[in-house]
Structure 1
Amino acid sequence: MSMAAVETPSGKGAGDENFPVGSFLLPKPLRPHVACFYTFARAADDIADNPALTPEQKIARLDAFDRALVQGSGDPDLARADRLRDSLAASGVADVHARDLLRAFRQDAVKTRYESWDDLMAYCRLSASPVGRYLLDLHGEDPADYAVSDPLCDALQVINHLQDCQDDYREMNRVYLPQDWLAEAGTDVTALDAPATSPALRQVLDRCLDGCEELMDRARLMPGQLKSRRLGAESAVIVALADRLTGELRRRDPLAKRVAFGKPRMALIALGALARFHLGGRR
């Protein structure tokens, strides 16, 4: 199997994400495991997002990743899956979280619309929640804390969908906005092709942000209840960034210009979050 037949690298890396990935805040011995999980997920995500591949081609490549993760392969073209398999064995974390991500990416290959908020949340439970669950397991946290990590990760996923809603529609005909909310607002997916957000589409975006804020009400508990102070600190930064991005998406138009923070502003938000965390605050 040739590399061209498996991976389709986009060139994106951890530095392109909205939120820290395996930053210096985490315990040094665990960072290589986090990096291994991220590079596996990034490679699989790139396959699912490649507009040049057919759904069948995407699924075949993702299936190859899945088999290698479970059975091992020894195939250089599946090295990321083999490395994650070794990492999981060394760290004692189950492969269920990585395999759930692959289920989400397979879904991305064939599903381009979400009928309702509940339908979207079911997708996020596969595409986002496993990331937080993996980190909790890696740090030896209580699985009961999934109750606060899941809403944080799911909110981050929706925020990312809103940031990229126009590109997702134009490049992949993929829309993560609930179809029933679009219909209730008297609009449809074609509104995403406009140069600016219509009042009807704005109504749908705001309903999604309302959903994010409900998720964040639970997620804000996460930093203060983890045993690992380092993971708590990283989660405090992520919570702060998510809250700020939610506010920015309220005020700005993601169709006119992608709503995102530059590195200097991200650093300022992170510093403020760390100061509050170390002073005993939860936000």
Structure 2
Amino acid sequence: MPEIFRDEDIEAASGKGADDENFPVGSFLIAPPLRPHVKAYYDFARGADDIGDDPDLLAEEKVRRLKAYRAVLHGEGEGLSKPSALRASLLEAGVPLERGSDLLVAFEQDCRKDRYASLDELLGYCRYSANPVGQFLLDLHGEDRALFGASDALCTSLQILNHLQDLKEDFREIGRSYLPADWLAEEDAVVEDVTASKASPGLRRVIDRLLEVCSELNQQAEELVSGLKSRRLAAESAVILKLAKRLRVKLAEADPIAGRVALSKADFLKAGAAGFVQGVILPRRAA
């Protein structure tokens, strides 16, 4: 397969970078020998996401590039550095290639679909856009796949919280909305309400309903930390869960339509300290 585009061109075109992420895939808590694998995965996901959100590409071209990513990842093509690097990494670590290609299902869906009829549709999207990340980390650390459910809950919560942060930007910049259409109708709201200076009462109710979903998902994710064998990964998971809970509270207290709601440095420091204690120091069921 000839090189039809360069990975390095993608981030520049989309304007995105690692600083746009609330919950980085890797941190200093990940064991040093595993960090190159985490970086390869992150670079692949970032590159594919940037293709899907590139405002200068037609949907057909986005899909074509994402299919090229998939082909290289599965050894059916060549010439793209990020999927090539991830393929080598996953094969070396013994992690299924699907942990990468499952992400592409969501990115291709973003090229074709910009509305979600129900919560079930949104959760189906998160199955591919977010959940493979946690599954990758569990596989990389050799953890029990029985923890996939708790991991999926955390990853889905993070994805929905990110959508709520970016309601206005997603609609204005790429015409996309992840708000369940049936809930909007039930609450006498419309997608276009996100362009206002503040949330309408109906839109606020939809936001609060999604935040309640995130609260339930965060509760389901609690067993992840105590069930992990790796204390480093337990600490990482504890930190991310605490950040998810904090962001949920901030989104409940503030209006994401009036201004972007974000975590502060103090939030990260507090979550980091508490997560380290919970994951590394306190006893766990699967120590």
For the pair 1:26 / 2:30, whether they are aligned, the reply is: yes
Deviation digits for residues 30-70 of structure 1 (CA, Å, limit 9, x no counterpart): 01000000000000000101122111011000000000001
How many equivalent residue pairs? Answer: 280
1:17 and 1:27 map into 2 onto residues whose CA distance is 21
The residue that corresponds to 1:235 in the other structure is 237
Deviation of 1:274 after TM superposition, in Å, equals 1.9
Superposition pairs of residues 55-66 of structure 1, within 5 angstroms = 55-66=59-70
The residue that corresponds to 1:191 in the other structure is 193
Q: Given residue 33 of structure 1, which amino acid in structure 2 is its aligned partner?
A: H
Aligned match of 1:16 in 6, 20, 23?
20
Partner SS state of residue 52, structure 1: coil
State percent identity of aligned pairs: 49
Deviation of 1:268 after TM superposition, in Å, equals 2.4
Structure 1 residues 29 and 235, CA gap change in structure 2 (3 angstroms): same
Contact 1:69 1:81 in 2 (8 A): yes
Aligned match of 2:181 in 158, 179, 182?
179
Deviation of 1:6 after TM superposition, in Å, equals 8.9
For the pair 1:68 / 2:72, whether they are aligned, the reply is: yes
Contact 2:167 2:194 in 1 (8 A): yes
Deviation of 1:269 after TM superposition, in Å, equals 2.3
The residue that corresponds to 1:160 in the other structure is 162
1:93 and 1:279 map into 2 onto residues whose CA distance is 29
Aligned match of 1:88 in 87, 90, 106?
90
Deviation of 1:206 after TM superposition, in Å, equals 0.3
Deviation of 1:123 after TM superposition, in Å, equals 0.5
Q: Given residue 189 of structure 2, which amino acid in structure 1 is its aligned partner?
A: T
Task: Give ranges in structure 1 of 5+ residues lacking alignment.
Answer: none
Structure 1 residues 73 and 192, CA gap change in structure 2 (3 angstroms): same
1:222 and 1:200 map into 2 onto residues whose CA distance is 34
TM-score when scaled to structure 1? 0.94
Q: Given residue 118 of structure 1, which amino acid in structure 2 is its aligned partner?
A: D
Contact 1:7 1:44 in 2 (8 A): no
Most deviating of 260-269 and 47-56: 260-269
Q: Given residue 124 of structure 2, which amino acid in structure 1 is its aligned partner?
A: A
The residue that corresponds to 1:250 in the other structure is 252
RMSD between aligned residues: 1.7
Structure 1 residues 4 and 225, CA gap change in structure 2 (3 angstroms): closer
Structure 1 residues 281 and 191, CA gap change in structure 2 (3 angstroms): farther
The residue that corresponds to 1:43 in the other structure is 47
1:225 and 1:132 map into 2 onto residues whose CA distance is 14
The residue that corresponds to 1:117 in the other structure is 119
TM-score when scaled to structure 2? 0.93
Deviation digits for residues 2-43 of structure 1 (CA, Å, limit 9, x no counterpart): 436995213533343212321110111001000000000000
Task: Give runs of ≥4 in structure 1 deviating > 4 Å.
Answer: 4-7
Structure 1 residues 6 and 65, CA gap change in structure 2 (3 angstroms): farther
2:281 and 2:38 map into 1 onto residues whose CA distance is 27
1:276 and 1:219 map into 2 onto residues whose CA distance is 14
Deviation of 1:257 after TM superposition, in Å, equals 1.1
Most deviating of 4-13 and 266-275: 4-13
Contact 1:5 1:61 in 2 (8 A): no
Deviation of 1:71 after TM superposition, in Å, equals 1.3
Task: Give ranges in structure 2 of 5+ residues lacking alignment.
Answer: none
Contact 2:45 2:103 in 1 (8 A): yes
1:261 and 1:213 map into 2 onto residues whose CA distance is 17
Superposition pairs of residues 207-226 of structure 1, within 5 angstroms = 207-226=209-228
The residue that corresponds to 1:136 in the other structure is 138
